[in-house]
Each structure stands twice: as structure tokens, then as C-alpha cells.
Structure 1
């Protein structure tokens, strides 16, 4: 019998206004792919968690019915002001092929219904929720503390590398597979040869929660699965299986397919699974894996590990500052920045756009300068992203201010960006010395139709065209002047 978590563990992270990032990807898959995926109870339970509240309610209303229900009967339950939400929910469920596409009666996909029933009641012996490894008195499991430390170390390694752009003194370096995925997802880009540099998207990535960060990378991995000739259903089902496993328990690798064993090796690099050694026949999911489809924290907090460093690190890598305790930055009107932190990752992120002045055991002092902001802009970080980061991690004392950040500092950061962007260079040709105003207007209109005009001056009868459009404009002029 599969090991099923208790019903109260089902905490979906989705809503109508902010659907989970995986749902659009699933909707883009064929009906055959989704039907194969729905043959696994763990996959159905995980997808159920990702749905919005209304979709989950509709699933539960239809799950235990033995026959389809008329559309009109279901519509009677909907109040007029909720009709749009109801229609949107039906569209989502139909797009995922959870709901059979019919305008007369509503019924769940039989495969999805059967598997979800099995997941909830705990029946069957398919091994969809993983096969626990036999207990071995000689080999004690690592324990939740070991798993949390491993997941945190692997995830920190990736983010440290992004922030330092590979130039910092890192104890360990991400694997080549991780580096390729960071480049493929455009979070980093090659700069001056093999060196990878963080991009604007990469800095925005640092503002997200660890849960969103992880799914950003996993979605890129899913897009690459077919290129690597990996079975997409096997990849998805393994991720969903991990999300339903029990934290701190060891599972056997024997029932895994060849695709899933390859995936197991890759996920070690991201800290989702832990093994004593690469050839081990056992593996344990970390907190990063078991919270893939829930609202529980993806990384250990100080309360669960007893370490203040772990709690600080979790805040540093993008946990949204929904509570005042998570803020640590004070920004003054003289552009001076005080960061109350001893976390090296937080310090490294700040170093992307401020000039460091002093560093104490629990305090970093720096300045927002023209040079430091221009350096950040040159690396693809925008002014709005800098302001957003300072706002997101503002100290509780700063949150008493209205506005939160000094307006003068915000305006100056934007002005430094405008200063950098006020001039743009482009290669092209200057067209001048037209015989008459009519000739000038005739050629100008032709160039505008081609969308190659970068600048024009009607008073001097001249305009500047792009390099790509020169051959067409020149040919047009030669035809008009008879080759002269």
C-alpha cells in the first residue's frame, strides 16, 4: 500500500488571481500525455493541490458521483456575480483534461477520478507514492537536520554563484548541468568568453521566494526534457511523487525507470534529493522536494533547525517580506545604506548595486553612488529592480515612513538610468542632397514603409536609415533616378 500523507497536508499554493506556474505548461500538453500522467495517484493528488480553491471545490463535488451531472444543475449553484469565476474554473479544468469537454453534462476524466480516489483512500499497490526502503539497523538515516543542511547548502551554492557571477571565492561550484540551465533560462549570460554574468532576469529571480525560484528552474528543465529524449510523463510523475513523500524517510531506487534515475542524479545538484553516495540504492527527498506542491516553507527556518544563520539565509534568497521581522535594510536621504545582516548572500546581493564602506559582525554600511548604480545597470539590473529590492527588504523602522523609501533617492536612481540611456548608437547611412522636396518626401515615405528610418530632418532634407534597410533604399533611389 502506498504511503499517503494525511489530508491536512494538502495546502495548495494557487489561486484564481495567481495560478501556479506549472498549470500553463500542463495545459499546453496533449490529452494523451495528461491521461498517461493521470494514471499515477500521486500526480493527481499533486495537481489537485496546484488548482485554485474553486477548481478544487468542483473536483470534490464531482469526484464521488457515479454519473455525470447536467450543466444546468451545476449552474444553479452559482450566484450571478460569481459566474465569470465559475466559467474560468471550468475552462482551466477542461484545458487540463480533468473535466470532460461537454456542453451538456459535467464529468471528471475517468482516469483522473479513479487515481484521485485511490490517492485519497490509500488503496492500491502501484508504488506511485514511492517504495520505502527496508530498515537497516547498520545504516541509520541522515535525519531531517542533515537533509535540511544539505538542501540549504546546495541551494545557497547556486544563488551565490549567480550573485558573484562566478568571480567570488566559493567553497563549491554548481555542476555543469546547473550552469547550463541557468544560461538556458537567461538568468545568466556568457560574458567575455566562458564567464557567466547575472542578467536582469537573474536579479529579478533573486526577489522571488525559494518556491517560485525552484519552479522557474524546473520549468526550464521540463522544456529541455524532450531535447534530451527523456519521457516527459516520467519526469513529471517523479517530481509529483517527490512532493508527496515523507520528509526524513528513505526510499528505494529499484522501482524507478531509467529516465527517473537520470532525473534523480540531476536533482541531487539542486538539493531536492539526498543520497549517501551516487551508487546508493536509497534516496531521501529534502524539504525542497516535499514542499513542491504545498504552501509550507521550501527551506528550513530557524524554528525548525535551531540555527539563526539558516533563518537569515532563507530570508536572503528571496522570501517576500510579508512580516516586518524579515526586513534588514535602512536607506537614508544621503544615499547611505545600513544592512543589519551577517549573511554573506545578502551582502553579496547588496554589493551588486552599492559601494561597500564598512563591514561589522552584524552590520554592513554602504553608499548608493553613481558608479555603483551604473555598474548594476551595465549588468542588466534596472532602476526599478533596485528600488523594488530595497523596498522588499526594508527594515521595520523604515516601514513606518510614508513613502517607504526617500523620494529623492528613488528619483536619483531613475535619473542615473536615464542618463545612461539618453544616447543610443546605431550603424546605418545618412541620405541627403536631394534635388527637390518632392524627391526627399518620396524616398522618405518608402523608407518609413520599410520601417528603417532612425532619424529625419525635414528642414535639411536628410534622414538616417538602418544598415539592414540600405540595400532596399539605395535600389529604390537608383530606380527613381535611372541609375544616376
Structure 2
């Protein structure tokens, strides 16, 4: 059955989690170190597709490897491609022993840790060390943690959509701003950070996808920050297996992991009473990192559940947004002329000027249409097509109107002495593939900057150095 993003349920089931391709590029040595921690093995197992998980569970309790041909004989002809893809994926993650072409078996390190994760065996502290109860202070409630995570996360998103528009949103930390720039979600424009086309597309994703997109960029920066990648990954996986509403001690954390506490606080993944506190509480953003559960307590946040649509669009370009969320209103301001605001309703219109403003910020017509489709009100979803065709076409026409003129630097060659001279030089420029425009009636053509030196030299040689 097709979903809101145009994929089928089967395609979604077999779609790789964004972290898996990153893990598959890591060395076997690094992954073996990572697999020494039961929480890491359990977390990565959660991210696998259904076939990969089934294979792991079939092999986990075998004391000896099984013949590859034996397991292949259990697979139907229709499932052979999925089976082969699953084995290849597990091999790239170094889950399998080295002779997997002949016999199938899990690597010793992964198998031992995964068994401990499931049965609770061993003395590993990879799942965190709960802090001793404090008689003077109680642990924060789940509601308080949810409110904190939502406020921190929406601060980041609200700054993205409001910066450069004349508004003064709360400014995130310098670390957050640096990461937004490095990931291409924001760019410096006339001395101000502004959202990019990639940043607007980022707003269409679910909070879970948004969070992992930023965390992957964080992982890419680990080496230049001289942090241990295995320690960083193991801490993220540890957080994903912790209990929401419980306090944990930082005593068992490495120096790298303690340095991460400040970074992750900025995104709302964890709460600490003070920066110097010896205990912390993971929020729902952290405990659902490798889960299918929603990472935020409400679906009203941008990127929330797609069935929580709030936009009604009419054929006269009038738009009604049933929301009191400041973030959603700020996003609409990027491409809508807002006329009235009520406690739970925003009224505006999509105009030529508002779309041109969005295009200047790098937002495309297709992205605007995609946003309107993604967050269309349930009442709108009864329409076929969902959005008025006239509005969609007009948004695209406004984009074409802006893109119909293209500027490019170059040189105009004119005033040739004869038609023969003009054609001779023109043919030479064509051979160099630097002709951008030509007019035979007026004996002139326009060439790119890159080809000017060669064309000028050719003309000078033909005219004996007298120019042309």
C-alpha cells in the first residue's frame, strides 16, 4: 500500500536505516571494539531489516556454524534476492565469521555480547549505571523531561526557519550552529545564517530522521575533534537502551562520553540539573534513538506524524493553518503571506511575492508543494487531487518565471572584417566548446571566460598580432 511519501510498506520495511551505511564503512577493528558492548549489539540489531533480524536470531544460539548451502535451501526462489542482500548487509557490518561463503556463523564477539544483551548475563555497564537515590532531590518526571526535550529541539528548528527573516528567535549554542552549517542546512548570507534548500527539505522529515541526520554529521566530525568514534557510538547506543525517567551516574563514562554530555544537552537528548552534576537523565529523544516509537511527546512539532495535518488550501490561493505552534507558523512564513493570526488559526495566501521570497532562500517549488501535501488537513485528504491543480501549476510557473533568465560571464566577439573571418573564428570556438550564444546575421558570438585566452590568441595569430 502506498504511504504518504510515495513508498510501499515493503519498500519501507527494507529501507536501510541512515546509520547502517555509515557503520558498514567502518573498519572491522572498530566494529569489533563496538561489539564488545552488549547495548551496542542490541541497538544495531533493532535497526536491521526483518530478514537480517531473522538471520541473526537463527544463528545466535548455534554453537557451531551451519553450512551456507543448508540455510540457502530453506529460502524460496522468490526470497533468494532478499536473502542474498541480507547476508551481504550482515557481512559488511562484520556480524558474520570470516568464512561465511562456506559456513554461516556469527562472529564470536558479536554473538557473546548479543547473548548477554538478551539474557542479562555478564557484568557489563554498557547499559548505564543507575544513580543512587538522592534524598534531597527527586528525579525529574517524564512530563518534565518531555517538555525539556521538546523545548530544546524546537529551539533548533525555530532558529533555522526564523534566522535571516528579521525575527529574533532564541539562539542555539555555537556547537549547534556549527553543525547546522557543516550539514548544509544553513548557510551564511550577507553576514547572517539562513536556511538552505536542504534545510527546508530537512523540515519535511520526521523528528527521528532529523535527529539522525544531525547525529551522522556529528559522527563525521569526530575525527577532527580528536574523539574516539567507538566511544561516541557506544554512548549513543547506551542512551537508546536506558529507561526514561531514571537518573544515571556519569562515573562509568569515558572522557569522550563526558564531553558529549554538553553537546547532547543542546539538542535535548539529556537533562542535567547543572553542567557539573554527577548524574543525568536521558529524554525521550535519546531513549528512542534505535526504536520505532516517536521521539517527541507531541505530533504538533514540525516533522511530526503525517496524519496530524493542519493546512487547508483553497483554489483562490487562500491558506488556513489550524495551529498554535510558533514553529509551524514560522515555517509557513517562508512561503506564505500571513494576513491574520488567531489563537489556533493562521490565515494567509500564497502569492507571487511570497513564493519569490522562498525561491530566493533556495526553496524550490516542489519543496513547497511537498510541504503542503505532507501537512494537509485530514479534510483536504478527501480531495482528488489533494492540492488544487491550479495552485500547484502557478507555484511552478512562478519558479519558471524567476529561472527564465540565466546570467553567465564571458566575452562578446564582434566587428569581424568579413563573413569568412567570423565563421573561421566561430568554428575554432566551437571546437573548444566555449560558444554560449551566436548571431550569424550580426557576425557576433559570445564565449565563456575560460575560452577567452585561446580565442584571443587565435585571432591575434590570424591578424598578425594586430588584434581583432
Task: Sort the TM-score into its range (normalised by shorter chain).
Answer: over 0.9
Cα distance per residue 1:263-286 (max 9 Å; x no partner): 111000000010000000000100
Report if the CA contact (8 A) 2:128-2:238 is conserved: yes
Measured in 2, the distance between the counterparts of 1:15 and 1:404 equals 23
Q: What is the CA-CA distance between 1:67 and the residue it aligns to?
A: 1.1
Q: Which moved more, 1:60-69 or 1:429-438?
A: 429-438
Q: What is the CA-CA distance between 1:445 and the residue it aligns to?
A: 3.0
Q: What is the CA-CA distance between 1:463 and the residue it aligns to?
A: 3.0
Q: What is the CA-CA distance between 1:470 and the residue it aligns to?
A: 2.0
Q: What is the CA-CA distance between 1:381 and the residue it aligns to?
A: 0.6
Matched, 1:446 2:428: no
Measured in 1, the distance between the counterparts of 2:448 and 2:154 equals 45
SS of equivalent to 2:338: strand
Matched, 1:254 2:236: no
**Structure 1 match to 2:328:** 346
> Residues 76 and 408 from structure 1, CA distance in 2 versus in 1: closer, same or farther, beyond 3 angstroms?
same
Q: What is the CA-CA distance between 1:481 and the residue it aligns to?
A: 5.5
Cα distance per residue 1:34-71 (max 9 Å; x no partner): 11111111100000000100000000111111111111
Matched, 1:184 2:213: no
**Structure 2 match to 1:20:** 17
Correspondence list, 1:103-182, <5 A: 103-165=101-163, 167-170=166-169, 172-182=170-180
Matched, 1:280 2:272: no
Correspondence list, 1:221-240, <5 A: 221-240=218-237
Matched, 1:315 2:300: yes
> Residues 479 and 129 from structure 1, CA distance in 2 versus in 1: closer, same or farther, beyond 3 angstroms?
farther
Report if the CA contact (8 A) 2:425-2:455 is conserved: no
Report if the CA contact (8 A) 2:245-2:283 is conserved: yes
Matched, 1:418 2:397: no
Over the aligned positions, Cα root-mean-square deviation in angstroms equals 1.8
**Structure 1 match to 2:290:** 293
Report if the CA contact (8 A) 1:330-1:337 is conserved: yes
Measured in 1, the distance between the counterparts of 2:12 and 2:398 equals 38
> Residues 447 and 456 from structure 1, CA distance in 2 versus in 1: closer, same or farther, beyond 3 angstroms?
farther
TM-score by length of 2: 0.93
Which consecutive residues of structure 1, in runs of 5 or more, have no partner in the other structure?
1-12, 302-313
SS of equivalent to 1:465: strand
Displaced runs of 4 or more, over 6 A = none
SS of equivalent to 1:225: coil
**Structure 1 match to 2:348:** 366
Report if the CA contact (8 A) 2:426-2:445 is conserved: no
Q: What is the CA-CA distance between 1:15 and the residue it aligns to?
A: 5.3
Which consecutive residues of structure 2, in runs of 5 or more, have no partner in the other structure?
1-9
SS of equivalent to 1:342: coil
Q: 2:210 aligns with which of 206, 213, 223?
A: 213
Report if the CA contact (8 A) 2:422-2:444 is conserved: no
Measured in 2, the distance between the counterparts of 1:209 and 1:469 equals 47
Measured in 1, the distance between the counterparts of 2:296 and 2:354 equals 31
Report if the CA contact (8 A) 1:248-1:285 is conserved: yes
TM-score by length of 1: 0.90
SS of equivalent to 2:101: coil
Measured in 2, the distance between the counterparts of 1:259 and 1:276 equals 20
Cα distance per residue 1:203-248 (max 9 Å; x no partner): 1111110000000100000001101001110100000000000001
